[in-house]
Amino acid sequence: MVKFYGKPVYKGIAVGSVVVLKNEDQKVKRRKVDSPEEEVAKVERGVKMAQEQLQALYEKAVVEVGETSAAIFEVHQMMLEDEDYLDAIYNMIRAEQVNAEYAVAVTGDNFSEMFAGMDDDYMKARAADVKDISNRLVQCVSGNQEDGLNFKEPSIIVADDLSPSETVQMDKKKILAFVTVHGSANSHTSILARMMNIPALIGVPLDLDKIHSGMKAVVDGVQGEVVFEPNEFVCEEAERKIKKEQEKLQLLQELKGKENVTLSGRKVNVYANIGGIGDVGYALENDAGGVGLFRSEFLYLGRDDFPTEEEQFQAYRQVLQTMGEKKVIIRTLDIGADKQVDYFNLGKEDNPALGYRAIRICLKQPDIFKTQLRALFRATVYGNLSIMYPMITSTEEVEKIYAIVGEVKEELRKEQITFKDPEQGIMIETPAAVMISDKLAQMVDFFSVGTNDLTQYTLAIDRQNEKLDDFYNPHHEAILAMIQMITDNAHKHGKWAGICGELGADLELTEKFVKMGIDELSVSPSMILPLRKRIREIS
Amino acid sequence: MQKFDYVIKDEVGIHARPAGLLVKEAKKYQSEVRIVKDGKSAVATKLMAVMGLGVKCGDTVAVEVEGADEDAACEGIKAFFESNF
C-alpha cells in the first residue's frame, strides 16, 4: 500500500483499477534475435492487428464526431501501409538481427524526426502521428493490448498531465478519477473533471514507472490523497464514503423541479456550462434552466482542419433542439492562450494569455468568424439562441463584430435562408471591459462575467502556472467590486448580468452575488442542484 | 513518359488526408507516378515520402507518369490534382 497526496480539484471518491497514460515513448529494449524472419512475421501480424484497431476507432469516431474528424484514423491506417516505413522496419530486423519492437520503435523515431525537422508547422505536427502509429504497432507486436485512451472498464486515469484534446477523446463513462503529476487547478483537465463530477487530484508526486495499469487504487478527492494497492480497511472506508456521497446526491435530486428562489422571493437563473453536445444530457439531468455557456471551441479541438459551416450548424441545431424552449448561450470561438490548435497556425507567443486569441482571431481572420456566425444564425430558428462574444476590451470591437454580423445577415437574406435575431451579449473578462461597462451595456443585450480570465488579468496571475496557485485569490475584493460595477451598469441600461466563470459555482459567494443583483449564474452541470439548495437558504 | 506541372492552390498544401487519397488514386494505375519538388522526388504511392516533400500552397510540383497506362494515368492524376490541391 502506497499513499500520495495531491491537490483535489473535485471532491469525490473513487475505487477502481488504474490505467497509466504515458506521454513519453514506450521503453523498448534492443534484443539480438536468432530468427529475423520470425520477427518480420510478428510485424506483419502486428500491422494487421493495428489496422483492425484503427478501423474500429475510425468507425466509432465517424458516429461520435463525424467523418471529417474521424479522417485522422484513416490517415493513420494509410501511414501504416506505407511501403518505405514497413521496408525500413523489415530491413533493420534482417540487417541487424534485432527484435521487432525495437525495429518499429527506431524506425518510428526516424520517420517522426523527418517530419519534426520540416520547416512547416503543419508537417511538424505530423511527427506526432508517426509516433502514434509506431507506438500502436509496438503495442500490437509485443502483444500488449492496452490501447491508450480506449480502455475497456471504468478506470482511474493516471498521467503526467493531460491535454484538453486527450481529455475530450476519452469516453467519459469510463473515467472513475483523474490523478496527474502536473497540471494546475485552473487547467482544462481540472475544469472538465469538475464538470463531469469526476474525482481528480493534481500535483501528485508520483513516479510513473512504479505505477502500473491494472493496479487497484482509491482516490479521495476530499482528503486529497490517492492510495495504490490499498488494504481491505482503506477500501471499505472508501466504499462507505461513496455511499454517503450518493445519499447526499439523492437528497439533491429532490431539489429537481424546484425554483431557484431565495426565502425573500428573489429569483436567480441557474444555467449550465457545457463543452459539447454530449454534455447537454448532463445539463438536463441536473435540471439546468438553460445553457449559460456553450464553449464552441470544442468543435475546433482534437481535429486537423476547421469544422465546416454545416458541421457547426448541425451541432448548434442539435443543442438548441434538445434544450427546447430553454435559453442556450453559445460563445463564439475562444481559441488561443491555453487552448492551442495546430491548424490555426497561431505560432508561438511569449505571452499567449495576453496574445492572439478569441475575438482577436475572429476580427483579424473574419472568414473563420463568418463561418461560425453563419452556422449560428442558421441555427437560430431551432430554439432560443443567444450569441456571446469573448475577450472584449473596447466598444470598437463590438462595432466591428456588429459590422461582420450585418454582412452575414445580408448574405443569408440574399440566399433566402431564414433566421431570427438572437440576443447578443459579451463576456466581461478584461479589466478594460469592466471599466467601460457603462458604455458597453448600451450596445449589447447582456453581460456574462468570465471570472477565471478576469481574475488572472486583474491579479496579473497566469492561470497555467501552478507555482502561483497560492497567490491566486479568487475572492479578492477587487474582483467582487468589479462584479458589482458590471451588474450595476447592466441594470442601469435595462440589461441583465450573469457569471459563467468558476466563481459562479462558489457556494461561499452565492449570497453575496444574489445581494449584488446578479441575474444569472452559469455553472458546471454537477453544481446546479447544490447551487439551488444554497439559493433557497438565502434570506 | 507523361509529365505536367502544377501549382498548389490548397491552403495547407499536400496535407495528410489528401496525400492519402493521392496514394489511393496512384495505386489505381500500373504506371509509376512521381512527384518532384525542388529536385526531390517521391513516388506517389508512398504516403510518408509524399508528405515528406513538404509541398505548400503556391509551390510548383512536376508530376511524372511512366508505364503501360501512362496516358490514362496522367489524365486521372491531373484531374485529381485539380480537384484536391
Nearest CB among B12, B13, B47 relative to A82 is that of B47
Whether residue A103 sits in one domain with residue A42: yes
Residues of A with CB under 8 A from a CB of B: 71-72, 74-75, 78-79, 81-85, 111, 114-115, 118-120, 122-123, 126, 129-130, 304-305, 343
From the list B15, B23, B48, the residue facing A122 with the nearest CB is B15
The answer as to whether A475 is a domain residue is yes
CB contact under 8 A, A78 and B54: no
Residue A152, in any domain of the structure: no
Three-state SS string over A296-343 comes to: HHHHCCCCCCCCCHHHHHHHHHHHHHHHCCCEEEEECCCCECCECCHH
Cα–Cα separations (whole angstroms), residue B14 to A152, A184, B35:
36, 38, 11
CB burial string A12-30: b at 16+ within 10 A, e below: bbbbbebbbbbeeeeebee
User: Quick check: B48 and A122 CB within 8 A?
Assistant: no
Q: Among residues A76, A140, A362, A500, which one is catalytic?
A: A500
**Distance between CA atoms of residues A168 and A56, nearest Å:** 18
The H-or-E segment that residue A162 falls in is none
Q: Report the residue of B8, B14, B15, B27 to disrupt the A interface, i.e. the one with the largest count of A CBs within 10 Å.
A: B15
Count how many domains chain A has. 3
Grid coordinates belonging to A259: 425554483
DSSP helix/strand/coil, A222: coil
pLDDT of residue B53: 87
Chain A interface mutation, best of B51, B56, B57, B84, highest count of A Cβ atoms under 10 Å: B51
- Enclosing domain of residue A185: 2-20+160-241
A352 and A289 within one domain: yes
Residue of A nearest to B56 (CA): A120
Nearest to B14 by CA among A123, A347, A304: A123
The CATH number that applies at residue A57 is 1.10.274.10
pLDDT confidence of residue A66? 63
pLDDT at A169: 61
Which cell goes with A255? 431539489
- ipTM > 0.90 for the complex: no
Query: Are A228 and A325 contained in the same domain?
Result: no
Residues of A in contact with B47 (CB under 8 A): 78-79, 81-82
In a domain, A386, yes or no: yes
pLDDT, averaged across chain B? 88
Q: What is the biggest distance separating any 2 CA atoms in chain B, rounded to whole angstroms?
A: 34
- Chain A: nearest CA to B29, how far in angstroms? 17
CATH, residue A228: 3.50.30.10
Q: Are residues A373 and A496 in the same domain?
A: yes
Residues from B in contact with A at Cβ < 8 Å: 12-13, 15-17, 20, 23-24, 45-49, 51-52, 54, 56
Please indicate, yes or no, if residue A248 is contained in any of the structural domains: no
The CATH number of B2-84 is 3.30.1340.10
Strand partners, B7: B60
A491 is catalytic: no
A118 and A165 co-located in one domain: no
Cα–Cα distance, A101 to A42 (Å, whole number): 9
- A426 inside domain: yes
Query: Same domain for A172 and A72?
Result: no
* B51 to chain A: closest CA residue: A123
Residue keyed to cell 450569441: A387
Verify whether the Cβ–Cβ distance B13 to A122 is below 8 Å.
yes
- Whether residue A96 is found in the same domain as residue A164: no
Three-point CA angle A180, A183, A186, nearest 5°: 125
A339 and A408, same domain (yes or no): yes
Residue A144 is predicted with a pLDDT of: 61
Contacts B52 to A, Cβ<8 Å? 114-115, 118
Residue among A87, A122, A345 with most chain B CBs within 10 A, to mutate: A122
Note down pLDDT in tens along chain A; length 539 residues.
889 999 888 878 999 999 888 765 456 788 888 999 999 999 999 999 889 888 887 887 676 656 766 777 788 888 898 989 999 999 999 999 999 999 999 999 899 888 888 877 777 777 777 887 888 888 888 866 544 566 778 899 998 877 554 665 677 778 899 999 887 665 556 766 776 678 899 989 988 888 888 889 999 988 889 999 999 899 999 999 888 878 777 777 788 889 999 999 999 999 999 988 878 888 888 889 999 999 998 889 878 889 999 999 999 999 999 999 999 999 999 988 667 778 888 888 888 888 899 999 999 999 999 999 999 999 999 999 999 999 999 999 999 999 999 999 999 999 999 999 999 999 999 999 999 999 999 999 999 999 999 999 999 998 778 888 888 888 999 999 999 999 999 999 999 999 998 899 999 999 999 999 999 999 998 889 889 999 999 98
A360 with A499, same domain: the answer is yes
pLDDT at A275: 86
Looking at residue A48, its pLDDT comes to 92
Tell me, yes or no, whether A273 and A232 share the same domain: no
Other CB atoms within 10 A of residue A505 CB: 24
Reduced to 3 states, what is the DSSP secondary structure of residue A443? coil
Residues A101 and A218 in one domain: no
**Running DSSP on this structure, what letter comes out for residue A98?**
B
Instruction: List A291's β-bridge partners, or say none.
Output: A272, A328
Question: Which residues on B lie below 8 Å from A78 (Cβ)?
Answer: 20, 23-24, 47
User: Do B48 and A85 count as a contact with CB atoms less than 8 A apart?
Assistant: yes
CB contact under 8 Å between A82 and B46, yes or no, is yes
Chain A residues whose CB is inside 8 A of the B24 CB are 78
A320 and A411 within one domain: yes
Active-site choice (A76, A140, A188, A362): A188
Phi-psi region of B32 (alpha: psi -120 to 50; beta: other; left: phi over 0): beta
Please check whether residue A155 lies inside any domain of the structure: no
